[in-house]
Amino acid sequence: MVRAFSLLIVALLVGGVYLLPEADPLRIGADMLQEVVSEATLPNPADPETRVAVAPQPEEAEDTREQGVWPPTESESAVIGIGEQLDRRLADWLRERVPFTPTAEQQAPQPITLFDAWKATDAYSVVETEAGPVGRLELHGVHALVEGYEVGEDALLLSGRARDAILRGLRIAGQKHTPIVEVLDNIEPGTGGLNVIVTITPDRLRLGWHMANEVPVGHEFPWSPPDRRSLLPPLVAIALALALRKPAVSLVVGVVTGAYLLRRGQGGGVLESIGGGTLDVGTKFFMDQFGDLERAEIIGFVICMLAMVGILVRNGGLRGVMNAISRFANTARSTQVVTYLMGLLVFFDDYANTILVGGTMRPLADRFKVSREKIAYIVDSTAAPVAGLSIFSTWIAFEVSTFSAQLPLAGLSAQDGYAVFLDTLPYRFYCIFALVMVAVLVLTRRDFGPMWTAENRAATTGQLVREGGQPMVGARATNMQPAPGVTLRAYRAVVPLTAFVGVTLSEILRVGGAFAADAQLGSIQGMTQVLYDGSGAWPLFAGSFVGLFLAVVFSLEAGLRGEIAKAAWNTLRSMGIAIVILYLAWMIGAVCSEIGTAYYLTDTLGDLQYPLLLPVTLFLLSGAVSFSTGSSWGTMSILLPLVVGLSYQLGSQMPLAEGTHFGHGLMILSIGAVLEGSIFGDHCSPISDTTVLSSVAVASDHVDHVRTQAPYALLVMLVAIVAGYFPCAAFAGWNPLYSLVLGTALLYACVRLLGKRVPDAEPDPDAA
């Protein structure tokens, strides 16, 4: 009966998609170009491999606008503004950071114009055609020079890392947007360079990478702007996962649905799209993820960490650590407190936090009969929130990069991005209240909703997973005991785990350039940039591999030669479904990216904005996008470039005392709201890779983890709005400290009123 009702709800939700409005195709195209601008990373000008030359521009340029189509529409203006912004961004970068050495003919630097809407070369224009307005962006003459400076006919000549940076940005855009395109990057010196052309019309999108003076290469497809059907793949996957409690099957259905819709959007018939879309699931979406080195390194990191934990259990090291921690964690409550504190300490990366804290604390939680759902919630709630708030994490430079280029629209410099980020910290209400919520729950030992059911079950019956539940790691691994006769020595676990943290951090610093002669580690901006440049899966994989190696060494020292492979295999043999679900989560993220789910939501809901409600609207919008796509970073990169100018302009219309206005304050609030909404949606989404990893780390049923965590996340979301974003926007000048005190009081009151105390349980001496 319950399952039938759940399926009925799924059907109603899917049908309700068709009641949503259509989106503006050209505005969505503008959003796509906006993200190309925001994601293109510029090179380090101090790098000796960077070569830049600027040619003088013609004194007079022909106006190539077609007559009769001016002034442009609002959507056309948005497209033009992106071209002008790209022009300003690269031009300012060249002026401020690259030493200009004039030639004999040029005794003084010339004005730099990389992109001009009015040049005879038509570098950027908007014209009217039979098919509708056309937005066109061209980047001419990206050259591959081996050494030295060169001045030619083109406006911009790049080589070395400068050229690679442009290509990297284009490749990211090609992988994320509709359609998937290839980037031509095998340009040899003397071929004339690289031309980049992006054209958007209401029915066609062309992204072409051309060799100058040669036959064009690239791809052109019929293009339909993302519409309400773009919500179907994530909605179907999420709804079926919650209704059927079979995440793998549900994700497959969602991916197939998206592949079918993409084929239909390219003009295929129903049967052709069903067959072709199903084929694309394996040949395109799976192979793209399977062949991605970053994805492979993440899988390798998870495998090494879980194998290491299995070996540490068998060689007695983890039991030795548990015995030492038991001085402080000798009850269910104190165990949860220690888990929470460990989550706060591992602040440099959310992946490392999830796997390290979850993998090491799960055996101790099992001993004191803490449900897997509760330990997964604690781990998940101290991963992204801590990394998102930390000024020394792999997150901060990315977060700053998504909005810093837009700060000139608010009268600030792009170099003020880190100062603005620090200003947002008191307004990061969801992350702060999520951490407060965990503290209140573990200290009061109270829970409510499905989490109380799970905790009561574990405490009274010792059943750590719901009957019929499917843990992401099997019982053979979680029930493993130290080898008979082995001496329990904590150092056998402490040294490998410490080595994992140390090697991971050192690799992040090395890859990020911290050991280079020109590294600027004396400033927050320089240090966080190093952490961002060094972020990725490789440092995690390298650290986990070293940790696994040391675990093997100490097991040999303990005389367990024949137990090592067996212990690792017992941990890994049952996690095949976890790897499948992780790949499927990445696949449906790629489908959502290609079909334009985020762009449709942004365009459709973006008009629901009022000055006083703007932070609340942005918080809910970013939460919806992140929940639907399973990506907090993807949501930030889409929404934040659009927020700075809008929020500052609206806030400047709200006068304050002494001739000032609320522009800067509303901008800070709005940036914080998008950052927080992105983390909130990711926190709740069953298709988020961090949510999946939390289930893997503690061997929880994935759907049960999502179901028990969602009520807490929703309560924190409501408190963040009611106590945080609404009063801060409605009462300009409201002290955020008032919001933090009010929100904490509300959370405590809700837990006291809604929650019930979980009964104490006798510890299980046989737990690993």
For residue 159, give both structure tokens: 């080589």
Q: Which of 397, 420, 398 is nearest to 409 (CA)?
A: 420
Contact 342, 386 (CB under 8 A): no
Q: What is the 3-state secondary structure (H, E, C) of 484-504?
A: CCCCCCCHHHHHHHHHHHHHH
Q: Which of 760, 753, 761 is nearest to 440 (CA)?
A: 753
Q: What's the rounded Cα separation, in Å, for the pair 655 and 641?
A: 25
* pTM given for the model: 0.63
Q: What's the rounded mean pLDDT across residues 544-564?
A: 88
Q: Give the model's confidence band at 448: pLDDT under 50 very low, under 70 low, under 90 confident, else very high.
A: very high
Higher pLDDT, 217 or 483: 483
Q: What's the rounded Cα separation, in Å, for the pair 734 and 363?
A: 45
Residue 19 is predicted with a pLDDT of 57
User: How does pLDDT run across 135-192, given as a tens digit for each residue?
Assistant: 444 444 433 222 233 333 333 333 333 344 444 444 444 443 333 233 333 333 333 4
Contact 222, 201 (CB under 8 A): no
Give, in degrees to the nearest 5, the angle at Cα 469 between 468 and 473. Answer: 130
Q: What's the rounded mean pLDDT across residues 507-514?
A: 80
Q: What's the rounded Cα separation, in Å, for the pair 747 and 715?
A: 8
Token pair 């801590």 in the structure block, residue? 386
Q: Decide if pLDDT at 61 tops 50.
A: no
| Maximum CA extent, the chain | 89
Q: Give the model's confidence band at 234: pLDDT under 50 very low, under 70 low, under 90 confident, else very high.
A: confident
Q: What's the rounded Cα separation, in Å, for the pair 226 and 219?
A: 19
Contact 404, 414 (CB under 8 A): yes
Q: Decide if pLDDT at 450 tops 50.
A: yes
Q: What's the rounded Cα separation, in Å, for the pair 617 and 252?
A: 32
Residue 73 is predicted with a pLDDT of 39
Q: What's the rounded mean pLDDT across residues 589-594?
A: 77
Q: What's the rounded mean pLDDT across residues 1-21?
A: 56
Share of the chain above pLDDT 70, in %: 60
Residue 42 is predicted with a pLDDT of 35
Q: Give the model's confidence band at 113: pLDDT under 50 very low, under 70 low, under 90 confident, else very high.
A: very low
Where residue 430 falls (left for φ over 0; alpha for ψ -120 to 50; beta otherwise) is alpha
Q: What's the rounded mean pLDDT across residues 740-752?
A: 95
Q: What's the rounded Cα separation, in Å, for the pair 536 and 349?
A: 10
Q: Mark 677-693 as b/e (b = at least 16 C-beta within 10 Å).
A: bbbbbbbbbbbbbbbbb
Contact 637, 402 (CB under 8 A): yes
Residue 714 is predicted with a pLDDT of 94
Residue 638 is predicted with a pLDDT of 66
The amino acid present at 254, given as its one-letter code, is G
Residue 432 is predicted with a pLDDT of 95
Contact 307, 412 (CB under 8 A): no
Out of 77-91, 118-132, 227-241, pick the least confident: 118-132
Residue 595 is predicted with a pLDDT of 79
Out of 61-70, 240-249, 297-306, pick the least confident: 61-70
Higher pLDDT, 534 or 685: 685
- Strongest mean pLDDT among 301-305, 494-498, 509-513: 494-498
Give, in degrees to the nearest 5, the angle at Cα 333 between 328 and 336. Answer: 80
Residue 146 is predicted with a pLDDT of 24
The H or E element that residue 731 is part of is none
The domain segmentation of the chain, as residue ranges, is: 25-222, 292-327+473-574
Q: Give the model's confidence band at 493: pLDDT under 50 very low, under 70 low, under 90 confident, else very high.
A: confident
Residue 550 is predicted with a pLDDT of 93
Q: Decide if pLDDT at 481 tops 90.
A: no
Report the interhelical angle of 332-345 vs 429-444 (nearest 10°): 160
Residue 528 is predicted with a pLDDT of 66
**Average pLDDT of the chain to the nearest whole number:** 69
Out of 216-225, 407-416, 488-497, pick the least confident: 216-225
Residue 329 is predicted with a pLDDT of 77
User: How does pLDDT run across 634-658, given as a tens digit for each residue?
Assistant: 777 667 766 777 777 777 777 776 6
Higher pLDDT, 520 or 509: 509
Q: What's the rounded Cα separation, in Å, for the pair 691 and 454?
A: 18
Residue 479 is predicted with a pLDDT of 58
The H or E element that residue 135 is part of is strand 132-142
Q: Decide if pLDDT at 232 tops 50.
A: yes
The H or E element that residue 134 is part of is strand 132-142
